[in-house]
Structure 1
Amino acid sequence: MSDPLFGADDEANTPLEAEERHALIPTYIALRRELNEAEQVNIAGALRWLSSRRREVLDERFLRTLHKQMFGQVWHWAGTYRQTARNIGVDAWRIPMDVAGAIDDARYWVEHQTYPPDEIALRFSHKLVAIHPFPNGNGRFSRLVGDLLAEQLGQTRFTWGSVNLVDPNETRRSYVQALRAADSHDFAELIAFARS
């Protein structure tokens, strides 16, 4: 019988190590639905926090603080880079330098207008999710970072496929498929998905 809280219910979820699972803060949580709800409440609080802050998205300290704001009421490790291996992402020891490299790349793209603003924001978001710097929440974190960078570049936030509210599983599959295309340096599908 699978764990009702931490069972891998789909291939896109990042499994947590035992010590990471024990870092859950709310003691009432027993089901995945309850965990998802607690994380959503925490993320809503992070959005309120963001509304009253100056944001320098291309700053490593801001990124860690943002993750902590998004998940810090649910997980003790929020805002701290993972120390364990994952089924996706870079080796844990590479995270600090890869995040720094992603920030440097994005700063260069912005300064030299290498790509249109949407593409810059999505390339940066994609790099972060590919690195997978935190134990969990990387997809939601990287999408919010993409939104914030798009806004910083004078664009509106992305819709991230929200036009397909009928089937959230199909939306998730489309997102994962677009990320896989971006892994092969084809960003057209991710750009189209993010604005759909």
Structure 2
Amino acid sequence: MSDPLTDAEDDAATPLAPEERHDLIPSYITDRDQLNEVEQLGIAEADRWAFSRKRDVLDEGFLLQLHRRMFQDVWKWAGTFRTTERNIGVEAYRIGVDLRQLLDDVRYWIEHDTYPPDEIALRFHARLTWIHPFPNGNGRHARLAADLLIVALGGDRFSWGGGGLIAADELRRRYIAGVRAADNHDLAPLLEFARS
């Protein structure tokens, strides 16, 4: 049976497991539009909080706290690693190890000027999205984390296509295409999209 709240509109959206769906906090939400709206309020607040002072985005505890701040008023599991398997991302038991490896890699790239700052931030975004640490909200979390990293590296926030990715189908398609290309070791489409 179809669930208007959790059914994915495209194959890139992460479907929720039934037990995760039951962890929805606002009881009045009945469809994806309402869910997107209330999630966006939390994301906007988390954005203000995250940029209010210097943060160490390459800290696992901070990344968990960032996700919690983004979704704490919507999902009971906000800020906790997923425990269920997905059609995308690493196996749930590998999340912590793969995330620590990513954070170490990014620190190395920064310390050794391995890549230009935009590329470091977008490689971070792509790998964080690939790991897919949370039940949902991974792309939005990874974009905010990449924005925090590029600012910490002295750059400007990314434009991410210049519009809202939830409502704009064409922007979302371009973003997903860029992420998928990055998964296949071609960062150019994501670099282009992030600064368009």
- The TM-score with structure 2 as length reference comes to 0.96
SS in 2 for 1:191: helix
Match of 1:54 in 2: 54
Deviations 1:54-100 (A, max 9, x none): 30011000000000000011000000000000010000000000000
Does structure 1 residue 100 correspond to structure 2 residue 94?
no
Cα deviation for residue 110 of structure 1 reads 0.4
Does structure 1 residue 170 correspond to structure 2 residue 170?
yes
SS in 1 for 2:4: coil
Task: List 4+ stretches of structure 1 deviating above 2 A.
Answer: 51-54
Find the aligned partners of 1:47 and 1:161 in 2 and give their Cα distance: 18
Find the aligned partners of 1:110 and 1:37 in 2 and give their Cα distance: 36
Aligned pair in 2 of structure 1 residues 148, 51: CA closer, same or farther (>3 Å)?
closer
Match of 2:134 in 1: 134
Find the aligned partners of 2:178 and 2:27 in 1 and give their Cα distance: 36
Cα deviation for residue 170 of structure 1 reads 1.2
Does the 8 Å contact 2:150/2:157 carry over to 1?
Answer: yes
Cα deviation for residue 163 of structure 1 reads 6.2
Letter in 1 for 2:120: I
Match of 2:41 in 1: 41
Find the aligned partners of 1:133 and 1:164 in 2 and give their Cα distance: 23
SS in 2 for 1:88: coil
The answer for unaligned runs of 5 or more in structure 2 is none
Cα deviation for residue 113 of structure 1 reads 0.5
Does the 8 Å contact 2:26/2:74 carry over to 1?
Answer: yes
Match of 1:124 in 2: 124
The answer for unaligned runs of 5 or more in structure 1 is none
Find the aligned partners of 2:44 and 2:187 in 1 and give their Cα distance: 29
User: What's the RMSD between the two structures over aligned residues?
Assistant: 1.5
Does structure 1 residue 9 correspond to structure 2 residue 9?
yes
Cα deviation for residue 179 of structure 1 reads 1.1
Match of 1:81 in 2: 81
Match of 1:66 in 2: 66
Find the aligned partners of 2:13 and 2:150 in 1 and give their Cα distance: 26
Match of 1:183 in 2: 183
Letter in 1 for 2:105: D
Find the aligned partners of 1:186 and 1:128 in 2 and give their Cα distance: 16
